[in-house]
Amino acid sequence: MIQHFESGQVAQASQIHAQLLPLFKALFLTANPIPLKAALRLMGWEVGGCRLPLCDVPNDVVTELQRVMKELKLL
C-alpha cells in the first residue's frame, strides 16, 4: 500500500487500504496492544502477554480477529 502511494499509484493504494480496513478496525476493538498481540499470536508469533494494567484479550475480540484474518487469507 505504501509503495503504491509513494510511487504515485494512489488508486491502487486506496484499494489496498479499503481491503485492509476491516483488519484495521479489528485491531482497535480494545486498547492497543491487546488485539495486535492477539493477532500476532494467531499467526504463530511468540509475543507474550500484556503487562498490567492491560488485561488478556477478550474472546469476542479473538473471534473477530480470526474471522477478519481468515477473510484476508492471513490465517
**Is 10 exposed, middle or buried (CB count within 10 Å of its CB: 0-12, 13-18, 19+)?**
exposed
pLDDT in tens, 3-50: 999 999 999 999 999 999 999 999 999 998 999 999 999 999 999 888
Domain that includes residue 10, residue range: 2-71
Confidence at 53, pLDDT banded by 50, 70, 90:
confident
**Distance (Å, whole) CA 19 – CA 10:** 14
Residue 5 confidence (pLDDT): 96
pLDDT score, position 51? 84
- The answer to whether the predicted template modeling score (pTM) of the entire model surpasses 0.75 is yes
The number of domains in the chain is: 1
